[in-house]
Amino acid sequence: MSEEVFLKLEGVKKSFGGVHALRGVDLEIRKGEIHCLAGENGCGKSTLIKAISGVHNPDEGSIWIDGEKVENMKPMDAINRGIQVIYQDFAVFPNLTVAENIALNGELKNKTKFVNWKQIHEVAEKAMAQVGADIDPDVKLERLSVANKQMVAICRAIINDAKLLILDEPTTALTAREVDKLWDIIRSLKAKGIAIMIVNHKLDEIYRIADRLTILRNGTYISSGDISEYDQERFTRDMTGKDITEEKYMPEPGSEEVLRVEHLSRKGAFENVSFSLHKGDVLGITGLLGSGRGEIGEALFGLSPADSGKIVLNGKEISIKSVSDAMANEIGYVPEDRLTQGLFMQRSIQDNTIAASIRQYMKHGRLDKKGMEDTTNYWIKELGIKAPSPKPAVRTLSGGNAQKVVIAKWLNTHPKLFILDGPTVGVDVGAKAEIHSILHDLAKKGIGIIIISDDLPELVQNCNKILVMKEGKVSGMMDNSIDERTLGNMLVGSSDRGGEKA
Ligand SMILES: Nc1ncnc2c1ncn2[C@@H]1O[C@H](COP(=O)(O)OP(=O)(O)OP(=O)(O)O)[C@@H](O)[C@H]1O
Ligand SMILES: [Mg+2]
């Protein structure tokens, strides 16, 4: 690897009002390296990326790109210097085709009167060939899976001679297999001499891809070095300032049955699913995309109800035909796609926290504002939500903190059964441990907890039972003595469709 530095930051500071997002950050990205940026939710990773890409100018500090000091950079200047960012939402246009998304921007810059469609196709095909993407250039983006949308965003980023490609949490919405494919692409870009910076919280993913690592905490630079210098202990300690060790969840064997599901089926989604949960159990449901793992959660919450089968909650058979049925039966659900399904981004943390439990705060026809605020402060503290008060709009929170608000919203309904699809995606290690310990406590109190996930380490550590789905059917019910590798092998099958949703 060349040791030549492409990007250098020194003492970069940035505040928003009274919030010090960056308090002095140093960073060095070498040409052609894969560099991971890690740190707890709200520590300033996304803000740092925006400072590098000209979206925010730092209040203080210096930035050098390719040896040249830059000041008052605009996004276009950063692009012209070879810096390309892929944000979490990819910023693709759903109603344009793959080819248009990749190449239209460049074509429009040509300033000729006519759009050259032939050229757009050529540019798009060339970019796709470079990353080894095999997507129909004429299909509209809205029809693609998340992984393929991301691929299109990468293609668009590299056509303009990128020297540094920055990806903000690129793996959060991907399945394990899609992550492997993404890493292959990243490696091939590195081989072409492009430097890559990736924001990621998961050490097991980082190990497989990164050359070096930089850790931030609370807006401050903490450490940086070769990936081999970090083991799980140091990684966690540098991120959190604490030693966090999560032990495998081993509840007392429970007696009372909390939930029993018998022969649950929904045509085209899953078939003949049966399982039961006792007091203390935390049940994990896993499987590849398309295995039916997410659909079971949707059925239990009434989003797409089952066609047949039986659901017994706390000894009583219940019928779930809609979300209101589920809520009437005190079932809570944290969806996978929480940014669109779980939150009102423009509203305050408080409005979101009490959104599903507002009735608790109605007293004699009036809203108990004090109660609402106290509750919100309680959850802010309990879940470690990084926010100065219950007032700010959720939109201003960092990604992981926004996610904690969704969890608070449902915890505050005090559900009898709580289903979480990918509950800690994008959540840092410290907060992850807090969320898990809350779920364990709830389970011990007799609340049914179901975690749907493809994060195998998370499942093995936190669920004492794991239901494995394959092609819509239950392929096994494991206890947590199973190791990750064996569990991983159970997920893959010959007729896997590789994660295309369209
Ligand atoms: N436009 C803004 N206005 C006000 N505060 C902001 C703004 N952007 C970021 N912040 C605050 O700056 C801090 C750093 O946020 P940032 O999004 O950079 O964190 P992050 O490290 O990317 O976190 P995550 O892992 O959760 O995505 C947070 O406290 C956040 O609330
Ligand atoms: Mg972020």
Residue-range domains of the chain with CATH: 5-240 (3.40.50.300), 257-491 (3.40.50.300)
Residue 216 is which amino acid? L
Ligand 2 centre from 399 Cα, in Å?
5
Q: How many helices (H) and strands (E) does the chain have?
A: 17, 22
Distance CA 107, CA 121 (A): 11
Q: In what order do the strands lie in the sheet with 257-266?
A: 270-278, 257-266, 308-313, 316-318
**Predicted confidence pLDDT, tens digits, the chain (502 residues):** 447 999 999 999 999 987 899 999 999 999 999 999 999 888 999 999 999 999 999 999 999 999 999 999 999 999 999 999 998 777 788 888 999 888 887 766 666 666 778 888 888 998 898 888 889 999 998 888 888 888 899 998 888 789 999 999 898 877 778 888 899 999 999 999 999 999 998 888 899 999 999 999 989 999 999 999 998 889 989 988 877 666 788 888 778 999 999 999 999 999 999 999 999 999 999 998 789 999 999 999 999 999 999 999 999 999 999 999 999 999 999 887 666 667 888 899 999 999 989 988 988 888 899 999 999 999 999 888 888 899 999 988 887 788 889 889 988 999 999 999 988 877 777 778 888 888 999 999 999 999 999 888 889 989 999 999 999 999 999 988 888 888 888 887 533 333 333 3
Residue 263 is which amino acid? H
Ligand 1 centre from 10 Cα, in Å?
20
Q: Which residues line ligand 1 (CB under 6 A)?
A: 16, 19, 21, 39, 41-47, 386, 396-401
Which of 354, 410, 359 is CA-nearest to residue 377?
Answer: 354
Give the start-end residues of each E strand in 302-380. Answer: 308-313, 316-318, 331-334, 362-363, 366-367
Distance CA 279, CA 285 (A): 17
Question: Which of 20, 37, 47, 214 should be mutated for ligand 1, with most atoms under 8 A from CB?
Answer: 47
User: What SS3 class is residue 238?
Assistant: helix
Is the separation of the CB atoms in 440 and 462 below 8 Å? Answer: yes
Q: What is the DSSP letter of 161?
A: T
φ, ψ of residue 12 to 5 degrees: the values are -75, 125
Question: Which of 398, 406, 435 should be mutated for ligand 1, with most atoms under 8 A from CB?
Answer: 398
